[in-house]
Amino acid sequence: GAGVSQSPSNKVTEKGKDVELRCDPISGHTALYWYRQSLGQGLEFLIYFQGNSAPDKSGLPSDRFSAERTGGSVSTLTIQRTQQEDSAVYLCASSRPYRAENSPLHFGNGTRLTVT
């Protein structure tokens, strides 16, 4: 079916405001990942979901970042009290089985977040 869908595609917010980023994975994909990509940089892991639970939150930069997943499908990444250093492209990816070892990741087009 359709690929991974992320919304909004662009978000400009003022420093100190909260933002919510949404990810709709490919139907049937049990694993969901959030990565962050700063301008010209690599892919920084944030959090991983297996179903609705998040066994690995090790990449979340601070307690201002949180994420949830409901119904084994849609995920929301929330950033509270945004700071300028949060500006980046936030990428969501999903895969069918839960182990990344042998399962391709399918990425969405990302949300470009700009904090002014």
Partner 1 sequence: QQPVQSPQAVILREGEDAVINCSSSKALYSVHWYRQKHGEAPVFLMILLKGGEQKGHEKISASFNEKKQQSSLYLTASQLSYSGTYFCGTPTGGGNKLTFGTGTQLKVEL
Q: Under a CB-based contact definition with an 8 Å cutoff, are residues 5 and 94 in contact? A: no
Q: Under a CB-based contact definition with an 8 Å cutoff, are residues 23 and 36 in contact? A: no
Q: Binding residue for partner 1 (CB under 8 A) from 19, 21, 23, 91?
A: 91
- Binding piece for partner 1, criterion CB under 8 A, among 16-24, 27-35, 61-69, 70-78: 27-35
Instruction: Quote the strand ranges of 9-105, DSSP E.
Output: 10-13, 19-24, 31-37, 44-50, 53-56, 65-69, 75-79, 88-95
Tell the smallest beta-carbon distance from residue 48 to partner 1 (Å): 5
Q: Binding residue for partner 1 (CB under 8 A) from 7, 13, 30, 50?
A: 50
Tell the smallest beta-carbon distance from residue 107 to partner 1 (Å): 4
DSSP 15: T
- Binding piece for partner 1, criterion CB under 8 A, among 10-18, 38-46, 69-77, 80-88: 38-46
Number of Cβ atoms within 10 Å of the Cβ of 81: 11
Question: Where does this chain bind partner 1 (CB under 8 A)?
Answer: 4, 31, 33, 35, 42-43, 45, 48, 50, 55-56, 58, 91, 98-110
